[in-house]
Chain A
Amino acid sequence: MASNSNSSERQRIAQQRLRVITGHLLKREDPVADSGVTGTHCKAEAAGSNEAKKGTVPKKRQEIMKWNGWGYSDSKFLFNKKGQAEFTGKRYRLSGMILPSLKDWFENTFGANVKQHKSPATPSLNASALPAPNLNDAFLQDLKATGIPFSHEADDRVFRAHGHCLHEIFALREGRGFQRVPDMVTWPSCHNDVVKIVELACKHNVCVIPFGGGTSVTGALECPPEETRCIVSLDTSQMNRILWIDEKNLVARVEAGIIGQDLERLLNEGGYCTGHEPDSMEFSSLGGWVATRASGMKKNIYGNIEDLVVNIKVVTPRGVMEKSCQGPRMSTGPDIHHFILGSEGTLGVVTEVTMKIRPIPEYQKYGSVVFPNFEAGVACLREVARQRCAPASIRLMDNEQFQFGHALKPQVSSIFTNFVEGLKKFYITKFKGFDTNQLCVATLLFEGDRDKVLQHEKQVYDIAAKFGGLAAGEDNGQRGYILTFVIAYLRDLGLEYYVVAESFETSVPWDRVLDLCRNVKERIVRECKERGVQFQPLTSCRVTQTYDAGACIYFYFAFNYRGLAEPVHTYEQVERAARDEILANGGSLSHHHGVGKLRKEWMKESVSNVGLGMLRSVKDYVDPDNIFGNRNLL
């Protein structure tokens, strides 16, 4: 029964999403045309059936997305006049809902006061404060000749000057802007456009910074302040077609600028999916996934990006690099794809990718398990990994995140009523003996054919029971996944009330998971105290992916910065300390966020001198003039 409601629910969501997206498409005119941007459409190389489809992302992104925060302009959390939290817009499940517990949780957790202590953002971009673009006239002339659209308007440039690191968003909100922004933006619409742009950039010695979804949280999109050449932001958003689908081999050729939600939607129409669902999939792009070694929530079934790609086409200053066949595995020396996977835009632009696709699973079911404490939960996940029976997704949230999730309980809604009722009962009956300040919850997502899912589910719940885990319902599980989609919106809410927040991640061997989580959280608390943070910080973590030999840990960290002169500086010091702590506890520099500029300083100790030298020599060969000059990674 639950499954029926679940699949109908899924259909409903899918339809809603589709509606929203269609809405965008209908509303969308060609905004770029008015602003003097010229362009002609690229002729598709392949006779793809999806040629006519348009992506969600317009050239002028700021028309539907916030210029100084996360996501769509119409969707945000706010405290209404009654002091209740609500989420605006219509796009999400939480949209239009009142969240009665959020205010208390927010005020109690951070010592914030939503009535008295506000830190509003600068309302709009001060374009006049932006330095005039440093244009390379010769390049511009040649580019014009190609007919590829471009712009050097302030808001276009600023939008592509940043990702979503705290310091970046904070600077935008403060109206301070950035030391260096791109001098112009260009929108190629196919591989050949990119080839032309890169050739011209080499010819005229112009710096190119590829820009995909713009969701980087490593400072990877920041322009190096010392860059004196003209910086061109190469926006891939218009390269968003599925070129073909090969149903015999279950692969699809896709242009790298496509964003996750469009890719899934378009494949779904044909009954397929990639199964690659990073938390940022609403906005992040295929090329970005390749360039940062992205990881999806359901990697247990579908694999991470490196497992999904079969072929990568990349335009470098030396020319185009691509493998000559689509053999599923090769022994031809080191895999050249791995020079590109994680190259973070330092070597070239990924233009097209052939990636695996799968039929949409017949059946999908959420689930959750409550554990008396985090230790028991980790032991259970470890056992699940040992038995290699992890569901599509299994995540273990610590107590702080569990409570956070509860603060997002909507007032009344048909979907959630059950849950609330269920929970009450749950508290009375099963929670006996569980300390609500200790317990933690694992959220599960099963996929596959119905019988197998149910069988699999039983297996996992049986293991959980051995570690004191109690099944806690589907809705409770689903809520956990919703949290990850709205968390970035919540940061914007925090910023309105003196609360800064960020997330970071690592991967670590199983035996060190508990030690690492405890030590990193403790380190954050102490560093905050030592650096004069007046309020107890929120530190929370979850085991978000499991592997045979270890796990991926995701941390949230937030604090009320009232009374601090330089909150971002303080924040950065604490994050640095946290990263040092992670490394000292055997954690990796990054599991899927990447290095960017934020974590460059640790690269040498992470991969050794020789390792770094190898990477450098590739860069030196591929891009001797540092055309792709974003200075990430190395």
Chain B
Amino acid sequence: MTTCEDPSSCRPEQGVEFVDILEERRQGSDIGHALRTFSPSPHRGYQTVSASGLNKMVLESQYLRYVTQEVAMDTGESVDLVREEASGIIEEMSQNLQLGFIRMLGFALSKVFKRLFSHINVNPDGLNRLQQAIQESPVILMPNHRSYVDFLVLSYILFTYDLPIPVIAAGIPLMDMKMIGEIFRRSGAFFIRRSIGTDKLYWAVLSEYVKTIVKTRYAPLEFYVEGLRSRTLKSLTPKLGMMHMVLEPFFKGEVFDTLLMPISISYDRVLEESLLAHELLGVPKPKETTMGLLKARRVLEEDYGSMHVYFGTPLSVRKLSQGRVDRCQYNLIPRDLPQRPSAETQVCVNWLAQLVIRVQEGGMVLSPWSLIACLLLQDLQESHAAGTDLVKGLALDLLTQRTVWLKELALHFGARLDWPELLPDHQVMSSSMALHQSVIGYNQGCVVLLEEEGYMGAGHTKGEESVFRRAGPVLMVAAYRNQALHVFVRPAMLAVAVHATSSSRREDIYIYFRFLLDLFSNEFVFITDRFYQDFEESCSSLRECGAIQTNQQEVTSTEEGQRTMSFLRALLQPFIDTYQVVFSHLCEEGIEVFTEKQMVPALRSLATKLLLSGQLRSYETLSSDTQKNVLSTLLRLGAVTRLRAAEQSEYRVHRPAIRRLADTLACRLPPPLVQTVPDPRL
């Protein structure tokens, strides 16, 4: 088995063959596919356990016995009662994977997928690697999460390729949908409550359940390391709870190794696109109900283009954690005893999670539309600034020419593009844009961003309403730009650093670069201990495309690199703007203590005001996602502190600290020399 020594610096393999699994479905019979002989080869030397057997193992585990006793002591309840509670939890949680349901689902999904997508492309070599990995060690399938569609697509693909069906960690809301919940359960989903918080018993049952699946190699385990579906289509910083559970059996020597399989799912167009934008603007998300799903049938009538599912190279936890985690740490304490992971373990788990996300990003397949989205948004920002009418848009020829330029840049940075080389450029453009008629239109040879129609709700002034009408489509387009961000983000940080640093000393630029990565590490996923490597790699990328010149001491931008550098800077501008808006809001007099619920609307009205007055050009400032990221950042950097861990956390503002950040970001202050320590909290 080939595993990459340093997967974070691995460029995605070039010339990957993708195969469209729908093609066969379009020619063959769906029912035949669903009823085919399915005999995935089992792991060698492991006995099969039934779903109920699995539950029993969990309930009878020594670990749960400890925790049950502890909980009984804490609460004063009887041990039996606590045990019953545990049994109830596992009842609610556990999956009940049945091949019959997989077949049924296979049939239904064949129908649905064929209608929704023109292609579902998978890489068979990756599936071969997966096949081999499953024979060797417990395998964790780690896809990114952009759409509800990803939920069962992996099971569908694995079924098609005769691989063991995974069990999947899902959120409780899915379970509450009538019928669907049960179907999912029988398709291998197990359900996790969203906010476990301090519920010791729940946490214990869940972690024992997950660990038992890994230890017994019951099935490949699938979970989303990002924790949630990304509303912005941008990678989310990893959630580490599940990650710890999945890795613990290896750290404790209960399995020889665990293989993490990064899987990158990319969509030309996401089903939920308009819902996402509204959520970000503060229009609440509809509750997940079966009726809602049925009503959403009309989404089935639209074309969502292609979907790419890229199966990466399995990452060996054993290899990667070597020298990072001392497995001897468990030698002197019973391994079943509940224990907080050591600091080094937490750092390592966090690092591994970041690594997986980086590898996921590397495996993404970009559609031309993602590139177009970058350019449309930048044009909007510039033209809005110039006071021109939004409707004017960007001439198609110009857009095509810029997109082709950007394509070269993206390829140079190692992106994997789904750009049909045989078609003429204008055709690629038009077919890409055709999929997204809900947000763009044509006006006299120009591509324009549409404004949203409809009434936005009471209490808005006309000005506010016009802002919101524009913001919806902007956020939707921004989501597609976000899909491409991972390609550009590190060179872009360097471009900002070069621009912001008055000297051209390499060291000064690196310090600012590091400041930016640290500041934005809740916004983009950076690998904590490889900032310097990121810097070096960004330097050489930009040097190779002629945008900068470097030597031992200096980094300077070049004349001919202006276009690249300003493109890169503009890419980050919306984020920088948003951070500054939040900073300035929190620095206003009168805010000492606030809650998130207070902050978001206050920011919305501040941003609206600024947009209307022309002081602010970035509609994305309205995105609650970014606003919340700023809050997490401030919390991490100690510029706000959490007062209570109650339901509604309150935060106290440390104005000088926030001002310092704002001033540094605006280059009014030099960046601090000390690097902040990453937060190892779970």
Binds B, one of A78-86, A204-212, A424-432, A579-587: A579-587
A584, B256: Cβ atoms under 8 Å? no
Instruction: Return A486 CB to nearest CB of chain B, in Å.
Output: 29
Which residues of chain B are near A518, meaning CB under 8 Å? 256
Q: Does A315 contact B (CB under 8 A)?
A: no
Interface pairs (9), CB distance under 8 Å? A438-B45, A515-B254, A516-B253, A518-B256, A584-B328, A586-B253, A586-B328, A586-B330, A605-B328
Q: Does A512 contact B (CB under 8 A)?
A: yes
Identify which of A512, A519, A586, A605 contacts B256 (C-beta below 8 A). Answer: A519
Instruction: Return A36 CB to nearest CB of chain B, in Å.
Output: 54
Which residues of chain A are near B336, meaning CB under 8 Å? 511
Q: How far, in whole Å, are A516 and B330 apart by their CA atoms in the complex? A: 13
A583, B328: Cβ atoms under 8 Å? yes
Question: Which residues of chain B from 319 to 375 have a CB within 8 Å of any chain A CB?
Answer: 326-328, 330-331, 334-336
Nearest 9 pairs of A and B residues by beta carbon = A584-B327, A585-B253, A522-B256, A586-B331, A515-B253, A519-B256, A515-B254, A584-B328, A519-B253
Instruction: Return B525 CB to nearest CB of chain A, in Å.
Output: 30
Interface centre among A518, A523, A584 (most CB of B within 10 A): A584
B256, A511: Cβ atoms under 8 Å? no
Residue numbers of A with Cβ under 8 A of B are: 438, 511-512, 515-516, 518-519, 522-523, 583-586, 605
Which residues of chain A are near B335, meaning CB under 8 Å? 511-512
Which residues of chain A are near B326, meaning CB under 8 Å? 584
B330, A511: Cβ atoms under 8 Å? no
Which residues of chain B are near A511, meaning CB under 8 Å? 334-336
Residue of B nearest to A529 (CB): B1
A585, B327: Cβ atoms under 8 Å? yes
Interface of B is mostly: loop
Interface centre among B253, B326, B336 (most CB of A within 10 A): B253
Identify which of B254, B256, B328, B330 contacts A523 (C-beta below 8 A). Answer: B256
Which residues of chain B are near A519, meaning CB under 8 Å? 253, 256
Residue of A nearest to B62 (CB): A511
Which residues of chain A are near B330, meaning CB under 8 Å? 586
Q: How far, in whole Å, are A583 and B253 apart by their CA atoms in the complex? A: 11
Question: Which residues of chain B from 375 to 413 have a CB within 8 Å of any chain A CB?
Answer: none
Residue of A nearest to B137 (CB): A522
Q: How far, in whole Å, are A522 and B45 apart by their CA atoms in the complex? A: 13
Question: Which residues of chain B from 505 to 530 have a CB within 8 Å of any chain A CB?
Answer: none
Q: How far, in whole Å, are A584 and B251 apart by their CA atoms in the complex? A: 9
Which residues of chain B are near A512, meaning CB under 8 Å? 253, 335
Which residues of chain A are near B254, meaning CB under 8 Å? 515
Which residues of chain A are near B327, meaning CB under 8 Å? 584-585
Which residues of chain B are near A516, meaning CB under 8 Å? 253
Which residues of chain A are near B253, meaning CB under 8 Å? 512, 515-516, 519, 584-586
Which residues of chain B are near A523, meaning CB under 8 Å? 256
Q: How far, in whole Å, are A438 and B47 apart by their CA atoms in the complex? A: 12
Residue of A nearest to B336 (CB): A511
Question: Which residues of chain B from 279 to 330 have a CB within 8 Å of any chain A CB?
Answer: 326-328, 330
Q: How far, in whole Å, are A515 and B45 apart by their CA atoms in the complex? A: 14
Q: How far, in whole Å, are A522 and B256 apart by their CA atoms in the complex? A: 7
Instruction: Return A555 CB to nearest CB of chain B, in Å.
Output: 15
Q: How far, in whole Å, are A605 and B330 apart by their CA atoms in the complex? A: 14
Instruction: Return B330 CB to nearest CB of chain A, in Å.
Output: 7
Q: How far, in whole Å, are A584 and B323 apart by their CA atoms in the complex? A: 12
0/1 string, B36-55, CB within 8 A of A gives 1: 00000000010000000000
Given contacts A512-B335, A516-B253, A584-B328, 17 further A-B contacts (CB under 8 A): A511-B334, A511-B335, A512-B253, A515-B254, A519-B253, A519-B256, A522-B256, A523-B256, A583-B328, A584-B253, A584-B327, A585-B253, A585-B327, A586-B253, A586-B328, A586-B330, A605-B328
Instruction: Return B625 CB to nearest CB of chain A, in Å.
Output: 42
Which residues of chain B are near A585, meaning CB under 8 Å? 253, 327
Instruction: Return A634 CB to nearest CB of chain B, in Å.
Output: 21
Residue of B nearest to A512 (CB): B253
Instruction: Return A308 CB to nearest CB of chain B, in Å.
Output: 29
Q: How far, in whole Å, are A512 and B328 apart by their CA atoms in the complex? A: 12
Q: How far, in whole Å, are A59 and B306 apart by their CA atoms in the complex? A: 85
Q: How far, in whole Å, are A397 and B416 apart by their CA atoms in the complex? A: 53
Residue of A nearest to B316 (CB): A526
Q: How far, in whole Å, are A260 and B256 apart by their CA atoms in the complex? A: 40
Which residues of chain B are near A438, meaning CB under 8 Å? 45
Instruction: Return B307 CB to nearest CB of chain A, in Å.
Output: 36
Instruction: Return B404 CB to nearest CB of chain A, in Å.
Output: 45
Instruction: Return A520 CB to nearest CB of chain B, in Å.
Output: 9
Q: How far, in whole Å, are A607 and B254 apart by their CA atoms in the complex? A: 24
Q: How far, in whole Å, are A605 and B328 apart by their CA atoms in the complex? A: 10
Which residues of chain A are near B45, meaning CB under 8 Å? 438
Which residues of chain B are near A605, meaning CB under 8 Å? 328
Which residues of chain A are near B256, meaning CB under 8 Å? 518-519, 522-523
Instruction: Return A437 CB to nearest CB of chain B, in Å.
Output: 9
Question: Which residues of chain B from 254 to 274 have a CB within 8 Å of any chain A CB?
Answer: 254, 256
Residue of B nearest to A508 (CB): B331
0/1 string, B238-262, CB within 8 A of A gives 1: 0000000000000001101000000
Instruction: Return A502 CB to nearest CB of chain B, in Å.
Output: 21
Residue of A nearest to B330 (CB): A586
Residue of A nearest to B332 (CB): A586
Instruction: Return A185 CB to nearest CB of chain B, in Å.
Output: 42
Instruction: Return A38 CB to nearest CB of chain B, in Å.
Output: 54
Q: How far, in whole Å, are A540 and B330 apart by their CA atoms in the complex? A: 25
Residue of B nearest to A605 (CB): B328
Residue of B nearest to A438 (CB): B45
Interface centre among B45, B331, B334, B335 (most CB of A within 10 A): B331
Instruction: Return B61 CB to nearest CB of chain A, in Å.
Output: 12
Q: How far, in whole Å, are A438 and B331 apart by their CA atoms in the complex? A: 29
Q: How far, in whole Å, are A265 and B47 apart by their CA atoms in the complex? A: 49
Instruction: Return A297 CB to nearest CB of chain B, in Å.
Output: 28
Instruction: Return B324 CB to nearest CB of chain A, in Å.
Output: 13
Which residues of chain B are near A522, meaning CB under 8 Å? 256
Q: How far, in whole Å, are A532 and B616 apart by their CA atoms in the complex? A: 63
Q: How far, in whole Å, are A586 and B326 apart by their CA atoms in the complex? A: 11
Question: Which residues of chain B from 43 to 92 have a CB within 8 Å of any chain A CB?
Answer: 45
Q: How far, in whole Å, are A583 and B327 apart by their CA atoms in the complex? A: 9
Residue of A nearest to B331 (CB): A586
Instruction: Return A438 CB to nearest CB of chain B, in Å.
Output: 8
Which residues of chain A are near B334, meaning CB under 8 Å? 511
Q: How far, in whole Å, are A516 and B253 apart by their CA atoms in the complex? A: 7
Q: How far, in whole Å, are A586 and B334 apart by their CA atoms in the complex? A: 11
Instruction: Return B45 CB to nearest CB of chain A, in Å.
Output: 8
Q: How far, in whole Å, are A585 and B330 apart by their CA atoms in the complex? A: 8
Q: How far, in whole Å, are A584 and B318 apart by their CA atoms in the complex? A: 12
Instruction: Return A585 CB to nearest CB of chain B, in Å.
Output: 4
Interface centre among B256, B326, B327 (most CB of A within 10 A): B256
Residue of A nearest to B215 (CB): A515
Which residues of chain B are near A515, meaning CB under 8 Å? 253-254
Residue of B nearest to A522 (CB): B256
Q: How far, in whole Å, are A261 and B327 apart by their CA atoms in the complex? A: 42
Q: How far, in whole Å, are A438 and B44 apart by their CA atoms in the complex? A: 11
Instruction: Return A397 CB to nearest CB of chain B, in Å.
Output: 17
Which residues of chain B are near A584, meaning CB under 8 Å? 253, 326-328
Instruction: Return A371 CB to nearest CB of chain B, in Å.
Output: 14
Instruction: Return A603 CB to nearest CB of chain B, in Å.
Output: 14
Instruction: Return A307 CB to nearest CB of chain B, in Å.
Output: 25
Instruction: Return A162 CB to nearest CB of chain B, in Å.
Output: 32
Q: How far, in whole Å, are A116 and B254 apart by their CA atoms in the complex? A: 42
Residue of B nearest to A588 (CB): B331
Q: How far, in whole Å, are A597 and B256 apart by their CA atoms in the complex? A: 29
Instruction: Return B306 CB to nearest CB of chain A, in Å.
Output: 39
Instruction: Return A27 CB to nearest CB of chain B, in Å.
Output: 53
Residue of A nearest to B326 (CB): A584
Q: How far, in whole Å, are A312 and B496 apart by their CA atoms in the complex? A: 77
Which residues of chain A are near B328, meaning CB under 8 Å? 583-584, 586, 605
Which residues of chain B are near A583, meaning CB under 8 Å? 328
Q: How far, in whole Å, are A438 and B45 apart by their CA atoms in the complex? A: 8
Residue of A nearest to B252 (CB): A515
